[in-house]
Structures are given as C-alpha cells and as structure tokens.
Amino acid sequence: MVKEVRNIRRQKLPNGLTVITEQMQHIRSASIGIWLQTGSRDEDSESNGISHFIEHMVFKGTKHRTAEEIARQVDSIGGNMDAFTAKECICFNVKVLDEHVPTALDILSDLVLNPVFDAADIARERGVILEEIKMDEDNPDYLVHEIFTQNFFKDHPLGKPILGTKETVKRFERPSVVEAYAHRFAPGNIIVSAAGNLDHDRFVELVTKAFEHMKPWKDGKNGFHSIAPKTVSRIILRNKKALEQVQLCLGVPAYPIAHEKRHAGYILNTLLGGGMSSRLFQNIRERQGLAYSIYSDLNPYRDTGCLAVYAGTSLASASKVVQSVVKEFRSLKAEPVPEEELKRSKAQLKGSLMLSLESSTARMSNLARQEMYFDRFYDLDELIEKIEAVTAEDLTGLANEFFKTDSVAVTVLGNLPGLKITRDQLAC
C-alpha cells in the first residue's frame, strides 16, 4: 500500500512496519529516523526509565559492530547520529550526505535490530544514567517541571520521569532489558522516516532488506498505550534551601495533539508566553522587572495536554508573579485579543514553523510525528491556512475553556520561608 502527497510517499510493509519519505532535491543531505511509537508513558512503575535505558544500550555494540566501530563508521561518512526518548516515542536518527544513505541505514538498522545488551555494559550504563539523573536534579528549571508533571498527572505513567528514578534504574538487569526490548521493537510499532535527496522506491528496498525478517505481533495489537490520565490541580510548595531563586510552574489542562482546536492553542500559547513580545515577558519581565526568565509552553500528548507557565524569581516577588500570571489568564478570558497582537502572534508562529522545517532532520521528524498522531499529512500551506483562520473569538473561547480557577495547578520550588499560595490567589 503506497500513499503519496506531493513529494511525500508512505508505504506499509507486509509485517506492519511503516516507511515514509519526503524528497528534497534541492539539498545534498538526507536524514533517516527509526521511530518506536512507545515511550516512557508506556512503562509500568517497576520499569520506569527502561525505554531510555534501551535507547542508551543499543549504542554499546551489536552482533556485527562494537561501540567503537559504530562511532568510527558514522564519522567516516561525515554523519551525525543521535537518539532520544520522549513520553510517547523513542527515536534513533542519522544525518548524512545523500550518497551515504545505504551505509547510514545499514548502521542505524543494525543498532536497532541487533544489540547485544552485554551484562557488563548494562552495569556500567546504570552508573552513567544515575549520574544523568543527579545532573538533572541539580537543575532547578528541570526539577520544578518534573515535580509539576508528576503531580499534574499523578499516579499515571505520563507523570513519571523519562529517565526513571534512582530506585528503578538500579534494578535494571539484562533479562528485564531484553524482555522490554523484545516487547517494544516489533514492526507494527516502528516507523522509518527519511527526508532529503533520496529516492523513495530505492529507500523502501533498503528498509525491506533490513527489516523484512521481523515477525508481526501475533494478535495484531501492540498491547501498549495506557488510558488517558486524569489531571490533578494541586498547589505544591517544595522546599530546597540551596536555591537562590524561587522556581514557579503554573499549568492548566489543554487539548490533545490532534484536537481540532489545536491551532488556536498554538496561538494562545504564543501570545501568552511564546516570545519576547508575549504578554508574560512584556508585563512581568519588562514592565515589572520581577523575573529574568518567564515563558509558557504547550505540551500536547495523544489523549491529553498541558499549558504551563514557568518563571524564576525572588522569594519576595513570588506571590506577585503568580498573581500577575493569573491576571493575564483573566484578561485573555474577558477581553478579545486586539487585531494587531493577533496578527503578530500568527506571523511569529508561521515564521517559526517555516524556519523549523528547513532542514532534512526536521522534515524527517515531521513525517514520523504526523504518522503517529494524524490519519493524514498536513503540508505547510495547509498549516498556515489553519493558523490564519483562527479568530479573536476563538482565542477568547479557548481561554475560557482552559483558565478556570479550580483547574490551575502550581508547583513552587526553592527556599520558601513564609510563602503561601492559596486557591483564592489563582482565581481566574
């Protein structure tokens, strides 16, 4: 089965693996990604962090290459290889000159298909990831977001840290790693996407040769995808005396990634705290001088989402920052966004979209994400059209859906003597 939209082509192999390409004839690079449609939210509490652990371990050597040989071969073709684990996916990717696509795919598929998971390497990598966890916990910006997420999606895998915890990572041994790998690395769970100066049919031949031996799931189902979480709007004050600043995170439930109102959500986030001209930056940093760093972020998932505001401030200013953020929520609910501000936010969003899709790596990622979350492909012209169609009335309606007093969750981290945040202060 082959589907084609302009220069984007999609094909599903008999075993269930999906191949998608976008031809970009005006460049000399090509980016390839092997994506698993499962991430940290698809782990139970005992194995929290196993997806990220596997992502690390596949680089430690395969049946055909040592870790050093992998690195040397990628360097010898001038390639750039990377990987990451997210809440809902794992990605292994490489960017090379177009002439090296066959070699790059051979190395990348070898990593994914033939890891040895040596017990000594696993023991060493446990130590590496434990140090990574410590490093993140020493980063107050990361830590306040992590505490916020764990409480916002309380008792749900989506709220668990991608890296896992010190307790879970210490338990990872070869049998559990091999079992988790075998469960996740099945063809029906894999998307191979590529963008750049390449030929779709030739690329499908290469992917087929590498992956056709994989057997489909016996029952045709992946057994993944936890139920949608219930959000919890708590006020959490976490004391950490060593911090000079107070770290704040305020958030509300938002729409899933494929929701029909998602484009209005992008614009709402942009004008609220998406840049230097945003309301939060101009009011709280520029006019009041209460924070150096303040922004909002929209995090949509397949069945839920969160719109969150972050700020770093002083203890003396913390309550005022919270009140100023909530005041912006109220304003967006009560007053239509002025036409000039709406135009500016749309232009900013369109510009960032267009610039973000100029590289082959970004195009490759866009292909895979659209395959994961949508039943069709949206080109840039259609996205821009959807953004342009959003009205001030749409934003007012969305603000009234999102910003409700009982829905606002707050996490405060720092040296907090005497600080109190009440629900009354969050009145929207």
Residues annotated catalytic, as ranges: 55
Run of H or E residues at 150: helix 140-152
Instruction: Compute CA distances 406 → 156, 272, 322, 400, whole Å.
Output: 20, 20, 15, 12
33, 40 in Cβ contact below 8 A? no
Say how many C-beta atoms besides its own lie within 10 A of residue 135's C-beta: 11
Q: In terms of Cα–Cα distance, which of 209, 407, 222 is closest to 308?
A: 407
Inter-residue contact 224 to 183 (CB < 8 Å): no
Task: For residue 227, count other CB atoms closer than 10 A to its CB.
Answer: 8
- Would residue 138 be called left, alpha or beta, if left means φ above 0 and alpha means ψ between -120 and 50 degrees? alpha
Rounded-to-integer distance, Cα 172 and Cα 155, Å: 22
HSE toward the beta carbon, residue 5, CA cutoff 13 A: 14
User: H or E segment at 32?
Assistant: strand 29-36
How many C-beta atoms lie closer than 10 Å to residue 313's C-beta?
Answer: 23
